[in-house]
Structure 1
Amino acid sequence: MAEPDETTRVEHHADRHRFEILVGDEVAGYAEYRPGAGSRDFDHTVTLPQFRGRGLAAVLVRDALDDTRAAGLSVVPSCSYVRHFVDTNPEYRDLVAGA
């Protein structure tokens, strides 16, 4: 799995309800969510084709879930990738709403 380095960063754009992962200054992918009462429903995650296969989606979702935890919110993993990430990373299961 890729780890963030000096050219990879994740930004939260709360006004657009999404997290973006950038490689250099280029958006490589994003995770969108619908805000709810005490939760974020992650419903769509995309890695742009030219950036696939580098583990960037995992870095993006990990940062998004860490931010969600820090904000005191739970997660609704409607997106299949976010659901898979939570299922394979048990340290995030407690974030799932109703878990």
Structure 2
Amino acid sequence: MARYILSQKCVFRFIQGYNSSQRFTQNHVCAFTNDSIPHVIHDRQNQRFTVACDSEDKSVLKYTSRGDGQVELISTEVPESHRGKGVAAHLAKAALDFVIEEDLKARISCWYIRKYVDENPHLGYQAYIKD
């Protein structure tokens, strides 16, 4: 299970079984400050991760569980008013951390999640991706 420690400029990710922490700056995580990091909610029943952007809009990452130890990460949707602020990165990170914590394999149908994995090899998600 991963746990996170926030400092002023960095997020540290500690993963069970690793000898050291992974450190990445806010630029690798998102454009949010520590005070405004969005709260990602995992709705297992509806197979999605959400972030409330404001009173009406939500950002959503949808997935399907295949039942054979695999999930398919289908799509990421962020309201236009919140694009470019790192919300999709938080959703992708939460979904990929879920894959790791549950020891699953992920198929990626969403272009954004594929881009996130490819641009962040230091986070170790590649080992959990099934092409």
TM bracket (short chain): 0.7 to 0.9
Percent identity over the alignment is: 30
Structure 2 residue ranges without an equivalent (≥5): 1-29
Task: Return the structure number with greater relative CO, CA threshold 8 A, min gap 6.
Answer: 1
Structure 1 pair 52–6 and aligned structure 2 pair: CA distance change class (3 A) = closer
- Cα deviation, residue 28, structure 1: 3.4
Runs of 4+ with >4 A deviation: 24-27
Contact conserved, 2:40 with 2:49, CA < 8 A, in 1?
yes
Give the superposed CA RMSD. 2.0
When Rg is computed on C-alpha atoms for both structures, the one with the higher figure is: 2
Aligned length: 98
The C-alpha deviation readout for 1:49-85, integer Å capped at 9, x for no partner, is 1111101101111111112210111111111111111
The C-alpha deviation readout for 1:24-57, integer Å capped at 9, x for no partner, is 6655311101111111101111111111110110
SS of equivalent residue, structure 1 residue 15: coil
SS of equivalent residue, structure 2 residue 45: helix
* Equivalent in the alignment of 1:66: 97
Structure 1 window deviating more from structure 2 (6-15 vs 44-53): it is 6-15
Structure 1 window deviating more from structure 2 (27-36 vs 72-81): it is 27-36
The answer to whether residue 128 in structure 2 is matched with residue 95 in structure 1 is: yes
TM-score by length of structure 2 reads 0.66
Structure 1 residue ranges without an equivalent (≥5): none
TM-score by length of structure 1 reads 0.85
Q: Which has the higher helix share?
A: 1
